[in-house]
Structure 1
Amino acid sequence: MRWGLAILFLAACGDDGGSSAIDAATPIDMGVSIDAPVDANPNMPSTLADTGLCTNAACTTYAADVRVYAPQYELWSDGATKKRWIYLPPGTKIDTTDMNYWKFPVGTKLWKEFTRGGVRVETRFMLKVMENDATPGAWFFASYVWNTAQNATTEATPGGMQDANGTQHDIPMRAQCRRCHDNTPGRVLGVQALSLDFQGATGELDLDDLAAMNLLTTNPPGTAGAPRFPLPVNNGNGAVDKAAYGYMHGNCGGCHNPNSSIFATTTLDLRMDVTKLSSVTVMPARVTTVNVNGTVGGLTGPIVKPNDTANSVLITRMNIAAGTNGRMPEIGTEITDPAGLAALTAWINQPP
């Protein structure tokens, strides 16, 4: 798990799922235009092989300076199998002054590969070209579509693609990628302190690795081999809490956080905060949902009503059919995540 000067990540927008009358690539009220302009970066390669990830067109061998990673709180993509990589330019570090929101150096690259039914359908790519993440054009996004022979890619159009490579996987519009990524300060969703604060099962890059390799401007507290940011335990049900808070962090917190453009009207904070882990009673996802009213389908009720999933708006919205107003997540998925639903159900039904 030790390596040179590279790490790799993949963007987490889009879907990989089942059919519906209105596809996940074009949800109702999603607030983006299918005519969104191309990210006009003259350095954006036309094929995946030219991005620096692979050494051949089929991407069966990888560059020596990229590293596989896998967040412990994974975004649900309708059951897609995913691989992720990250690259950091030599001599650079991730600015971890704010441990909740990392700032990546110019030249950072991230990739995420989606496989559906054993068929590679898409690899997403992010490239940072300007220091200030908030500057328009600081990050460029692209998706590369795999051909039927699985030996070459072409860049997808900004409008995305439905049913890529004969599967039910939809490549998102570029504006959809930005809709999620622009709601977090550093623009990167899966490479962060809490997501990497675990020991990967097969040697993926983790928080301990980054600290040991001196790739962080500020190292996390604690010691290697143990959680740097241990989560609080409620009545001995630590596994229940971790599954639920982790699911919301990875699947909802990218948009539902105080830095998001939607927070002014929807004051949900479903992202875990390293400064608010002393007790479950101060965790943002609990404070902003439990016995707090929300609205769905014109009906108002508690977002989370303890021991009553049938009357918890959070569960109701997860179960709304894809392509229908009120469904959450609104984009990127067409199938309700059974494990995520089970985790939230167990959390709501546990003793207070």
Structure 2
Amino acid sequence: MKWFVLVGATLLAALSMAGCREASAPPQPVSFHAQGLPERLSDWHVLTADGERLRLNAGVEPYALNTALFSDYAHKLRTIWLPPGTKARYEAMDAFDFPVGTIISKTFYYPRFAGSQDAVLRVREQSGESRDGLDLKQMRLIETRLLVRRQNGWVALPYVWNAEQTEAALARAGDSVPLEMLASDGSQAQQFSYQVPDENQCAGCHATNNSTRAIQPIGPRARHLNREDPWHPGENQLTRMAAIGRLAGLPANDIPRNARFDDATAPLEDRARAYLDVNCGHCHSPRGPADTSGLWLDAATADPIRLGRCKPPIAAGQGTGDHLFDIVPGKPEESILVYRMDSLDPGAMMPEVGRATVHEEGVALIRDWIKAWVGQCSVGAGGADAS
């Protein structure tokens, strides 16, 4: 009998030790898949989640933007992983040139309302809130999008998180996630369906050159990244990227920088242009998918007419709301730009994809910007005229 007890105790101890070793085993290294479409986000080993916390794997670096694309008030954890020994190359205006094997991730999430499984909060994202990953008791994961740099170019892959917050599955056809969004005090409940884009919609936004139609990153550009690093206070994000061997060719001076759209101390012009640049400029540019519209809202455009001043629409159809010009100086209520930003009509709203709600703060900013314009539009025999 004693022998059985001894053997049983020894076996239990061995199993316990094995279990401890398994529980404390380090995560597998990041896996770059040079081909194929992995069905699970965990196949990449960029992020890990156990229902309690979302964690970044070793070598996966978070980054932040000065002004970010609006996505139904979702918060975003952005990361970059580069193959060991490689560097991205600096570009002044375009997306950085990343090496083959790069994996860029963007995880969309919301703070939970009082621990609710369904209700989420519409609150401002806190700087550095994802320093140690995300506490999933406080945050609800919605989706993680990957941009993967393969030999033949970039591939966009959307993954949707399960209810247990332990895994995300590839959603090539996109998805719709019903949400109830509340103000921080629990008021102003808003029901909407968060839309996860399908592969074609991902490519539609990220194909920033209408001639090549090649997918490119949008956020990792000098003017968006040139800011203090939220996870390393006092350090510039680009300078740190270069210092840790992740960025080559960073100049000492004259690095472009966009304003934060919500920084009340920055000039109104800078804030509005930064907002339009990141939300609209990847399409509305001389090379973008909306190049034929004649409305260019990227950071490099300075011509007031190209920015919309007294410019009649070319092919907006019902998207005009019966307004005559993209921007009427001093009159946002008569400007097509504001009308389309403030609309949820599928035939009029801009951007066309990526939102199911109106960004009230963004619309207010563009209203104020247009109010500050001086002049008036008139229509004569020769067409529109600005004076």
Aligned to 1:143: 158
Cα distance in 2 between the residues matched to 1:41 and 1:169: 30
Higher-RCO chain (CA-CA 8 Å, sequence separation at least 6): 1
Match of 1:161 among 175, 192, 216: 175
How many correspondences in the alignment?
290
- Whether 1:125 aligns to 2:146 is yes
Aligned to 1:152: 167
Contact kept? 1:146, 1:153, Cα under 8 Å = yes
TM-score, normalised by the number of residues in structure 2:
0.67
- Whether 1:317 aligns to 2:344 is no
Cα distance in 2 between the residues matched to 1:140 and 1:345: 36
- Report how far residue 55 of structure 1 moved: 4.6
- Whether 1:102 aligns to 2:96 is yes
CA, structure 1 residues 162+186, in 2 after alignment: closer, same or farther (shift >3 Å)? Answer: closer
- Whether 1:189 aligns to 2:218 is yes
Match of 1:270 among 292, 297, 318: 297
Summarize the alignment of residues 264-303 of structure 1 with structure 2, pairs less than 5 Å apart: 265-273=292-300, 283=302, 287-294=306-313, 295=316, 297=318, 299=322, 301-303=324-326
Higher strand share: 2
Cα distance in 1 between the residues matched to 2:194 and 2:243: 38
Aligned to 2:278: 250
Match of 1:178 among 203, 214, 217: 203
Give % identity. 27
The code of the aligned residue for 2:293 comes to T
Aligned to 1:220: 251
- Report how far residue 269 of structure 1 moved: 1.8
- Report how far residue 52 of structure 1 moved: 2.6
Highest CA radius of gyration, 1 or 2? 2
Aligned to 2:21: none
The code of the aligned residue for 2:274 comes to G
TM-score, normalised by the number of residues in structure 1:
0.73
- Report how far residue 191 of structure 1 moved: 0.8
- Report how far residue 284 of structure 1 moved: 5.5
Unaligned runs of 5+ in 2: 1-29, 111-119, 121-138, 181-191, 375-387
Unaligned runs of 5+ in 1: 1-7, 9-39, 274-281
CA, structure 1 residues 218+269, in 2 after alignment: closer, same or farther (shift >3 Å)? Answer: farther
Cα distance in 1 between the residues matched to 2:252 and 2:305: 24
Cα distance in 1 between the residues matched to 2:304 and 2:57: 39
Aligned to 2:73: 79
Aligned to 2:64: 70
CA, structure 1 residues 96+107, in 2 after alignment: closer, same or farther (shift >3 Å)? Answer: same
- Whether 1:60 aligns to 2:91 is no
